[in-house]
Structure 1
Amino acid sequence: MPEICRFFGIIIVMYYNDHAPPHFHARYGSRKAAIDIETLGIIDGELTPRALGLVTERAARHREELRADWDLAPRHEILLPIAPLE
C-alpha cells in the first residue's frame, strides 16, 4: 500500500491491483475511507467531517495526479507522491 501523501495527520494511500472505480484510501486516526477519484464521494468507511473536508479539498486540487497514480498501480509501478501542502 504505497503512501501518496500525508498532511495534518491524514495519510493517503493507493493499493496495487485494487478494484474499480478508481479511488484512493484515506486514514485519519482509527478511521479509514475509500474515496472515489471522480466524484470524491466515500465508497466505503468513514472519516470525521473535518478530515473528509480536508481530503476532498486536496483530492480536487490533485485529481489528475491521483488518476495518474491509479493508472500506474495495476502495473506495480512506483506511484508518484503528491506534495503535502502548497
Structure 2
Amino acid sequence: MPEISLFYGIRVTMYYDEHNPPHFHAEYSGNRALVDISNARIIKGALPSKQLKLILAWCVIHQDELMQNWELSKDGKPLNRINPLV
C-alpha cells in the first residue's frame, strides 16, 4: 500500500487493484477512512473533525492527481507522490 502523501499527521495511501468508486485511504492517530475522489466524501470509516476538513480540502485540490494515481494503480504502475497540504 504505497503512501502518496503525508501532512499534519494524516497518512494518505492507495492500494493496487482496488474496487470502485475511485478512492484513497486516510489514516490519522488510529482513525481510518476511505475517501471518494470524485465526490470528496467519506465512503467508510471516520476521522476527527479537523482532520476530516483537511483531507477533504486536499482531495478537492489534488483531484486530478488522485485520479491519475487511481489509473496507475489499476495498471499496477508506480504511484506518484502528491504534495501535502501546507
Smaller-chain TM-score bracket? over 0.9
Stretches of structure 2 lacking an aligned partner (at least 5 in a row)? none
Q: RMSD across aligned C-alpha pairs, in angstroms?
A: 0.9
Identity of aligned residues (%): 42
Query: Where does residue 13 of structure 1 map in the other structure?
Result: 13
Query: Where does residue 65 of structure 1 map in the other structure?
Result: 65
Query: Where does residue 50 of structure 1 map in the other structure?
Result: 50
**1:77 aligned onto 2:80:** no
**1:32 aligned onto 2:32:** yes
2: CA distance, partners of 1:30 / 1:11: 11
Stretches of structure 1 lacking an aligned partner (at least 5 in a row)? none
The Cα of 1:67 is off from its aligned counterpart by 0.3
SS class of match (1:52): helix
Report the AA paired with residue 26 of structure 1.
A
Moved over 4 A (4+): none
TM-score (norm 1): 0.96
1: CA distance, partners of 2:10 / 2:66: 16
TM-score (norm 2): 0.96
The Cα of 1:72 is off from its aligned counterpart by 0.3
The Cα of 1:81 is off from its aligned counterpart by 0.5
